[in-house]
Amino acid sequence: MLISNSCWVIFTLVFPALAIRQTPDFASDALGLQQIQQHGNATLEKRDDVPAGFTTPPYYPTPKGGWVASWTDSYAKAAEVVANMTLAEKVNLTTGTGLLMGPCSGNTGSALRFGIPNLCLQDSALGVAQTDNNTAFPAGITTGATFNKALMYARGYALGQEARGKGVNIQLGPTIGPIGRKPRGGRNWEGFGADPALQGFGGSETIKGMQASGVIATVKHFIGNEQEMYRMDIPPHGLMKAISSNIDDRTLHELYAWPFMDAIKAGVGAVMTSYNDVNGSANSQNSKLINGILKDEFGFQGLVMTDWLAQIGGVSSALAGLDMAMPGDGSIPLLGLAYWGYDLSTSVLNGTVPLERLNDMVTRIVAAWYQMGQDQDYPLPNFSANTADATGLCYPAALLSPTCVVNEYVNVQADHANVVRNVSREGITLLKNDNTTLPLTTSASLKVFGSDAQNNPDGINACNQRSCDTGVLAMGWGSGTANYPYLDAPIDALKRKAANVTYYSSDTFPSGLTAATGDIAIVFINSDSGENQYTVENNHGDRDGSGLVSWHNGDALVQAAAAKYATVIVVVHTVGPIIVEPWIDLPSVKSVVFAHLPGQEAGDSLTDILFGDYSPSGHLPYSIPVAESDYPSSVGIVGFEVTQVQDTFSEGLYIDYRYLNKNKTSPRYAFGHGLSYTTFSKSSITLTSITPLSSLPPARAAKGSTPVYSSAIPPASEVAWPTGFNIISRYLYPYLDDPASISSSTPFTYPTGYQTTPQPDPPSGGDEGGNPALWDIMYNLTVTVTNTGTVAGKDTVMLFVQYPSDSPYDTPIIQLRDFEKTDTLVPEGSETLTLSVKRRDLSVWDTVLQNWVVPVSESEPFVFWVGNSSANLTLACESLNGACSSGRTPPVV
């Protein structure tokens, strides 16, 4: 059975290999059709061309890797190997072997003389995708809702263990972009929440956990992939280029790139670029983004890969800093054509791509491999993402493929079900609980409504990559999924736990029901989204069809239950915010539980909370507005345009709670909101200055040395077909039929601004994650949390920063900068938590200075607000005098 990504069989324009796309680096050439389109129920707004000021200046050459201390050993080992590689071996590691040309989502060529196998790149951010005997972990959004850094790490570690056990070298996660700018955005659920600090901690803890297992983590998608629709350059949309996300420099740094800085600081081994353009220049060959920001400012030492089939040019992407083309195919997949592979060999031999660029690509890849210890006993892939059968075609896309043993069904689950249950349970967010309706007793008479409580009757994995919304929603759809080994449905867990449960599986309220006194209705509803290659119930990845409304007439189901029963509990499985106004204030709607996307333990993790075995401790990783129109129209899904869809991030830094605060709009439930069955007090708050404030960070150190190789163009014979070679048709090789004929006689037109002299070291750089001083702790804040209630529970403390009132920079009123969660506190138990404020947390990106600047003020303090949601700020400390107090009026509604 072939279960692979047929979605990738997309027919795109035949761009000549190695051509530079004629998109200017500075602006878009899109036509400016002004129109509004209706698409399904959603209003799709057509907006401007790339407006003036949204630029992406050229940045060349690519900064070489190897100058950061924590990578020195790995680079030394890599350099020794790369110095001895042939051109063919080097090209092999940079280029995928082609779609469906190996067991994994992506497969590189190998350099077996040095023990480097074909590297296996495999989704996803929540488990090993398209295989068996794996664990289906809770999604990123659920993990974000735990606000628990230790659990984020534990999940990452378990994810990495499973990837390693299956022989995955490079795991395609975590997802930290999209950030969730657009509430309807299709893939927000893969990430951790609509805030850069939450994404940053979620991503970096996951990376540390994954990489401790030895797998190379991949942060994706760099950058601005905030909507799914029109994300790719494809003819089906009419000779259309991928959407252009138009982002100003400050917003890019402070919001969208912020979590990527955290990821690089955490030592991530790989970054995936996104399909979209930024400011009219494709991200897979955007020199400012890859060379400038990732590799120079942020000091990234690992490898940069494309998203699948996002590469649109050969030399252009190589010069812009791309290191690995995935899955290797050129503009038309499955034909054995590539921008790199054999054409990269050509362009090195003819001198177009400098050999030192190729050497740097390969060194970065091999260094990442050593950095995670993959030279020591690392398994080869023992599964196939292409088939569930034991044997199958080794290279399904080949005209004639040999047959291999492709699946060994290795069980990698270990005790990870516990990790799943802990994360899912701790993510569960109690939004409302009138009359202490929850927790329930096991003897309660429970009437359960909604198909979301049960499993898909066709099978838990019936829809490819979960591309349907049938039964309980425990993950979204697309490549960010994994197969369920089992799915513990809520209704089964309810029946196991409680004595008196009746289930009505329809999403239409049954007629003729009579409610008895004491009956409690539990209504399950959901809202789904995913990746653009699938359309589910008229939603094209994004929730463009449904909007923020629960699917399958969930609102009507809740309303009908509320009309009949005096006590209604609503359980919501959702990818993001839904508007709850149609029923939230109905008198019988007593409790509302957001269970997010729980993964395989959807049942027990929920009943753990519903019956009070654990007190809920999840918090919303986004705001729930009263109406979608409370947000600016710029965060709506942008609609079709003939040449290129323009998506201008005109709201700047103001997304989610930052926008609502600015506009003095109260949400229905604030970012961070989440109730408990117990109560907590916060006391004994202290603020300690650790490092004196200065407006600019101390000057960075100069870069260390990088590997030096011979610059002589290698002999053409290094990419001649080896004698007696058994060629697999359509497989992407580095070899050429007549390499000796390659000459450097044809001059090549380099991109605007191309230069070979290195750029001066940017002042904002200096180490992985940028200038190391950005990570200096400026203040520590301690606070004692005491359980003042009657049952055990965990509390979360969030720290939001308010900038000095005389700061010249227009900055959101408050911004989350740190959070910590207590252990389980028994009644009267207490714990003192320490939260930190780092230099970057107090800085703005100054677009003129091109540096992080603290708006230090002699007279006006930074205020550090402490609370457990963006709207519940109960304590405050001031930077200038260190004084802390309670009862101060917060600056937000």
Catalytic positions: 307
Q: Does 382 bind ligand NOJ (CB under 6 A)?
A: no
Q: How far is the CB of 105 from ligand NOJ (least distance, A)?
A: 4
State which of positions 274-303 bind ligand NOJ (CB under 6 A). Answer: none
Q: How far is the CB of 479 from ligand NOJ (least distance, A)?
A: 4
160-189 mask for ligand NOJ (x: CB under 6 A)? Answer: ------------x-----------------
Please say which residue, 429 or 464, places its beta carbon nearer to ligand NOJ. Answer: 464
Please say which residue, 139 or 349, places its beta carbon nearer to ligand NOJ. Answer: 139
Please say which residue, 172 or 365, places its beta carbon nearer to ligand NOJ. Answer: 172
Q: Hey, what are 198's tokens? A: 């939450």
Q: Does 479 bind ligand NOJ (CB under 6 A)?
A: yes
What does the alpha-carbon distance between residue 186 and residue 42 come to, in Å, rounded to a whole number? 14
Q: Does 105 bind ligand NOJ (CB under 6 A)?
A: yes
Q: Hey, what are 325's tokens? A: 């083309």
Kindly tell me which residue out of 25, 205, 307, 647 binds ligand NOJ, with binding defined by CB under 6 A.
307
Q: Does 359 bind ligand NOJ (CB under 6 A)?
A: no
Q: How far is the CB of 40 from ligand NOJ (least distance, A)?
A: 22
Q: Does 574 bind ligand NOJ (CB under 6 A)?
A: no
Q: Does 308 bind ligand NOJ (CB under 6 A)?
A: yes
φ, ψ for residue 781, nearest 5 deg: -125, 130
Q: How far is the CB of 108 from ligand NOJ (least distance, A)?
A: 14
Find all residues with CB under 8 Å of 271, minimum gap 6, and list them. Answer: 218, 219, 220, 222, 260, 263, 264, 294, 300, 302, 303, 304, 305
Q: Does 449 bind ligand NOJ (CB under 6 A)?
A: no
- Bridge partners of residue 403, in order along the sequence: 393
State which of positions 143-162 bind ligand NOJ (CB under 6 A). Answer: none
Q: How far is the CB of 701 from ligand NOJ (least distance, A)?
A: 35
What does the alpha-carbon distance between residue 698 and residue 458 come to, in Å, rounded to a whole number? 61
Give the total residue count for the chain: 893
SS3 category, 687: strand
Find all residues with CB under 8 Å of 557, minimum gap 6, and list them. Answer: 449, 450, 507, 508, 509, 523, 525
Residue by residue, DSSP assigns 153-196 as HHHHHHHHHHHHHHT-SEE---B--S-SSSTT-TTGGGSS-SSH
Are 63 and 296 spatial neighbours (Cβ–Cβ below 8 Å)?
Answer: yes
Please say which residue, 234 or 561, places its beta carbon nearer to ligand NOJ. Answer: 234
**Among 260, 250, 70, residue whose Cα is nearest residue 767:** 70
- The CA-based angle 266-291-654, given to 5 degrees, is 65
Please say which residue, 105 or 133, places its beta carbon nearer to ligand NOJ. Answer: 105
Please say which residue, 311 or 567, places its beta carbon nearer to ligand NOJ. Answer: 311
# residues contacting ligand NOJ (CB under 6 A): 7
What does the alpha-carbon distance between residue 745 and residue 704 come to, in Å, rounded to a whole number? 36
DSSP 96: B
220-259 mask for ligand NOJ (x: CB under 6 A)? Answer: x---------------------------------------
Q: Which helix (H) or strand (E) holds 250?
A: helix 249-251
**Among 68, 66, 94, residue whose Cα is nearest residue 80:** 66
Mapping DSSP onto H, E and C, the string for 584-643 reads CCCCCEEEEEECCCCHHHHHHHHHHHHCCCCCCCCCCCCCECCCHHHCCHHHCCECCCCC
Kindly tell me which residue out of 25, 49, 89, 123 binds ligand NOJ, with binding defined by CB under 6 A.
123
**Among 6, 9, 4, 10, residue whose Cα is nearest residue 102:** 4
What does the alpha-carbon distance between residue 184 and residue 546 come to, in Å, rounded to a whole number? 9
Please say which residue, 307 or 846, places its beta carbon nearer to ligand NOJ. Answer: 307
Q: How far is the CB of 168 from ligand NOJ (least distance, A)?
A: 12
Q: How far is the CB of 483 from ligand NOJ (least distance, A)?
A: 14
Q: Hey, what are 381's tokens? A: 């892939």
Q: How far is the CB of 801 from ligand NOJ (least distance, A)?
A: 32
Q: How far is the CB of 142 from ligand NOJ (least distance, A)?
A: 18
φ, ψ for residue 590, nearest 5 deg: -90, -35
Please say which residue, 275 or 298, places its beta carbon nearer to ligand NOJ. Answer: 275
Please say which residue, 25 or 123, places its beta carbon nearer to ligand NOJ. Answer: 123
Which positions lie near ligand NOJ, rule CB under 6 A?
105, 123, 172, 220, 307-308, 479
